[in-house]
Amino acid sequence: MLGLLAWCGWSVAVSLDMDALPPAQLSPAEESEVDAMVLPVPPAWIGDLDGMRARRTVRILVPYSKTFYMIDRGQQQGVAYEYGKAFEAWLNAKRPLGQQSQRWQVMFIPVARNELLPKLLAGYGDIAAGGLTQTAGRLQTVDFTDPIYSDAQEVFVTGKGGPKLARIEDLAGQEVYVRPSSSYFEHLVALNKRFEARGLAPVKVMPANENLETEDLLQMVNAGLFGITVADHHIAQLWQSLYSDLVIHDGFPLNQGSKLGWALRKNSPQLKTALNQFGKGHKVGSEFGNIMLRRFFKNSKRVSNAVSEAEMVKFNALVGLFEKHAGTYDFDHLLLMAQGFQESQLDQRARSQAGAVGVMQLLPSTAQEVGVSGVETSADRNIEAGSKYLRLIADTYLTDPEITPVNRLLLSFAGYNAGPGNLMKFRRLAQKSGLDPNVWFGNVEQAAARIIGRETVDYVGNIYKYYVVYKLAEQKARERKAASVMAGL
C-alpha cells in the first residue's frame, strides 16, 4: 500500500520528497544482513558422480515455483527440494564419502523453466528437476532417469465460463495457452498435424509467457482470464482442490503414458545409476512419493477475472487516465493498470482499514506529500499520485540504464509493496548471489522471498498476470477492429 514504507522491517509513514526517502545505498549493518543471506554461486563444471564425489556436491537446477521450489523467509520448500534432500540423505547413507566428518551436499539452483536444460548442458547444474516429461525432442539432447511417475496424462483444463469440450475434436480452432518450452507445446504441434490430416482446423497454440508456471496458468484459467490450458493430470487435480472452478477433461488426454523424471547430461552413467537406485524407493507409488504428491499444494493468493464484462467496463472507463499519467511518467499504461486492479480492482470507491483510498490505494497524506490533492474523490488525481510515486522510486533506486522498462516498473512495484529499503536489500542479495539485480522474475524475486517471504513475490506476480491478459485483450480488440475494417463495417 502506497505511503506505508517498510524500512528496517517496520511500516512507517514517511515524507516523500527526495531528501526524506531512505538513501539509495545500504548502511554497513544492512550490508552485513544481506551478506549473511548470500546464496552460493557455483561455477560451471561438467562431469559424472565421481567428480561430484570429489567436490562433495550435487547441483540440482529447479524452476522457481510454488509447486517445485521456492524460498519463504529463508526456508526452502517444494517437491523438488524434498526430493533433493532425500537424495542427499540417500547418498550419505548408501555412498558415504569415507570420513565421518565429510558429507554429501545437494545444492539447489533456481532458474527460469526454459533455462533448465540449457543450464544443465552448459554445466551450471548436474540434474534438472521440476516435473519434466521425457519427449523425443528432449531425448535428443539430454538423458533421463527411470520415471519417478510413469503414467502421467496431459489433460486439457478449462475454467468457469470456458469453452465446452466433450471430445478432442471440439478443440479445433480453439485457443490453448501453454509455455513454448513445455512438453504440452510439443504435443499440441503433433495434435495439429493429426487435425490437418483429418481436415480439421488447427488448435491455436498460444505461447504463454515463460515466467508463468503451470500452476499460474491454472490459476488464470480458474479466474476466467483465458479459456484453456494443459497440465499433467495429477497437477491439475491437486490444484483443483484450491481452484474449484477448474474443469479437468480427462476423457480425451493430449498425451498419456508420459514419463516424468529428472534430466541429466548424456554420458553420466554413474549419476544415472545412483539416481535410478534412489528412485526405486521414492517414485510415485512409494510411501515417500505419494506424500510428496499431496503435500505442496497450499493456499495461494487468488487472482480475479480482470477481463470479465463488468471489469472491462471499469477498464474502458479508466484506460484514458492511465494512458495520460503513464505517458507523463514514462510507464507502460497496461502494467500500471494491472497494479491498479491488484490494489482495488480499479475501484475509486475502495477504502482500506489503514485509510488508503481509491484506485491506487493511497493514503491522502502520502498523496499530499507528492504534491497531489483530491485523491479521495478523483480517480484522475489518485492515478496521478500513484504514478508519480512509482516514478520517484524508479528515479531514486532504479537508475541503472540496463534495466528494461518492464523490469523497472516490476521492481518499482516491489518497492511500493515492501518499501524502498527492502527493495535495495532484494537487489543487493540477488547481485551477491550471482543473480541479475535488474531482472525481477527468477532473480530479484528469489531474494525477496528469502528476505521477507512470499507477500511481495505474490503481489508482483499477480500484477504481471493481469498485465498478460490486458495485453491479450488489447491485441484481440485490435484484431476485431482490423477485421471490421476489412469487412467494411
What would the pLDDT profile of 445-457 be if each residue is shown by its tens digit?
989 988 988 889 9
Of 432, 479, 470, whose CA–CA distance to 33 is shortest? 432
Question: Which whole number is the average pLDDT over 332-351?
Answer: 93
Cα dihedral sign, 343-348-350-352: positive
Query: 151 phi and psi, to 5 degrees?
Result: -140, 50
307: pLDDT confidence band, cut at 50, 70 and 90?
low
Name the CATH architecture for the domain at 49-148+263-293: 3-Layer(aba) Sandwich (3.40)
Active-site option among 115, 213, 215, 343: 343
Query: Among 4-18, 116-130, 361-375, 471-485, where is mean pLDDT lowest?
Result: 4-18
pLDDT band at 413 (very low <50, low <70, confident <90, very high): very high
- Domain extent listing, the chain: 4-34+303-482, 49-148+263-293, 149-259
Q: What is the pTM of this model?
A: 0.69
Confirm if 122 and 44 have CB atoms less than 8 A apart: yes
Mean pLDDT in residue range 272-301: 69
Cα dist from 390 to 33, 264, 379, whole Å: 26, 44, 16
Give the span between the Cα atoms of 208 and 26, in whole angstroms: 37
| Strongest mean pLDDT among 146-155, 266-275, 414-423 | 266-275
Find out whether 392 and 18 touch, Cβ atoms under 8 Å: yes
| Separation of alpha carbons 444 and 438, rounded Å | 8
Please report the pLDDT score of residue 299 as a whole number: 43
Please give the residue that has the higher pLDDT: either 288 or 389: 389
Query: In the annotation, is 210 catalytic?
Result: no
Question: What is the overall mean pLDDT for the chain?
Answer: 85
Identify the band that residue 419 occupies on the pLDDT scale cut at 50, 70 and 90.
Answer: confident
HEC sequence for the chain:
CECEEEECCEEEECCCCCCCCCCCCCCHHHHHHHHCCCCCCCCCCCCCHHHHHHHCEEEEEEECECCCEEEECCEEECHHHHHHHHHHHHHHHHCCCCCCCCCCEEEEEEECHHHHHHHHHCCCCCEEEEEEECCHHHHCCCEECCCCEEEEEEEEEECCCCCCCCCHHHHCCCEEEECCCCHHHHHHHHHHHHHHHCCCCCCEEEECCCCCCHHHHHHHHHCCCCCEEEEEHHHHHHHHCCCCCCEEECCCCCEEEEEEEEEECCCCHHHHHHHHHHHHCCCECEHHHHHHHHHCCCCCCCCCCCCCHHHHHHHHHHHHHHHHHHHHHCCCHHHHHHHHHHHHCCCCCCECCCCCECCCCECHHHHHHCCCCCCCCCHHHHHHHHHHHHHHHHHHHCCCCCCCHHHHHHHHHHHHHHCHHHHHHHHHHHHHCCCCCCCHHHHHHHHHHHHHCHHHHHHHHHHHHHHHHHHHHHHHHHHHHHHHHHHCC
Q: Over range 320-344, report the average pLDDT.
A: 93
419 residue type, one letter: G
Cα(68)–Cα(131) distance, rounded to whole angstroms? 8
Residue 95, CB-side half-sphere exposure with 13 Å CA sphere: 22
The reply to whether domains 49-148+263-293 and 149-259 share a CATH topology is yes
Question: Mean pLDDT over residues 299-315, rounded?
Answer: 62
Distances (CA, A) of 286 to 167, 279, 337, 417: 34, 10, 47, 42
Q: Which residue has the cell 490505494?
A: 361
Question: Which of 9-13, 145-149, 349-353, 427-431 bottoms out in mean pLDDT, i.e. has the lowest?
Answer: 9-13
pLDDT of residue 293: 58
pLDDT at residue 224 tops 90: no
What distance in Å separates the CA atoms of residue 448 and residue 282, rounded to the nearest whole number? 32
Report the CATH fold assignment for 149-259: D-Maltodextrin-Binding Protein; domain 2 (3.40.190)
Triad 87, 91, 92: Cα angle to 5°:
120
> 59 with 42: CB under 8 angstroms?
yes
In this prediction, residues 11-35 reach a mean pLDDT of 55
Query: Model confidence over 20-30: pLDDT tens digits?
Result: 456 666 667 76
Higher pLDDT, 485 or 406: 406
pLDDT, average across residues 359-387: 92
* Among the four given CATH numbers 2.30.30.100, 1.10.530.10, 3.30.70.141, 3.40.50.300, the one describing domain 4-34+303-482: 1.10.530.10
